[in-house]
C-alpha cells in the first residue's frame, strides 16, 4: 500500500512540474510548488489509506465475531 501511495504522489509531483513549467514560472518556484503538492497529496492519500484499511479490518472483525457466535450457538 505504501508503494502505491508513493507512486501516486510522484505522479502528482511530475504532473505539477509539467503544469507549472507550462506557465513559464522560474525553476525554483516550479520545484517548490511541485514539492508542496507532492507532500500534501501523499499525506492525504496516506490518511485515506489508513482509514480504508481500518474500515476493512473493522468489517472483517465484525463478520468474524458473528460467525463465531453462530458456531458456538450463542444468539
Q: Which three cell numbers stand for residue 71?
A: 458456531
- Backbone φ and ψ for 41, nearest 5 degrees, come out as -65, -45
**What's the pLDDT score for residue 74?**
61
Would you give per-residue pLDDT tens digits along the chain (75 residues)?
A: 789 999 999 999 999 999 999 999 999 999 999 999 999 999 999 999 999 999 998 888 888 888 777 777 765
For the chain, which residues make up each domain, given as ranges? 2-67
Q: Which three cell numbers stand for residue 6?
A: 508513493
**What's the pLDDT score for residue 37?**
96
Amino acid at each position: 500500500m505504501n508503494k502505491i501511495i508513493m507512486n501516486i504522489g510522484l505522479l502528482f509531483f511530475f504532473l505539477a512540474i509539467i503544469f507549472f513549467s507550462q506557465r513559464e514560472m522560474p525553476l525554483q518556484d516550479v520545484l517548490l510548488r511541485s514539492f508542496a503538492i507532492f507532500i500534501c497529496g501523499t499525506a492525504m492519500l496516506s490518511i485515506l489509506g489508513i482509514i480504508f484499511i481500518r474500515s476493512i479490518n473493522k468489517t472483517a472483525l465484525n463478520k468474524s465475531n458473528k460467525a463465531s457466535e453462530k458456531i458456538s450457538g450463542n444468539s
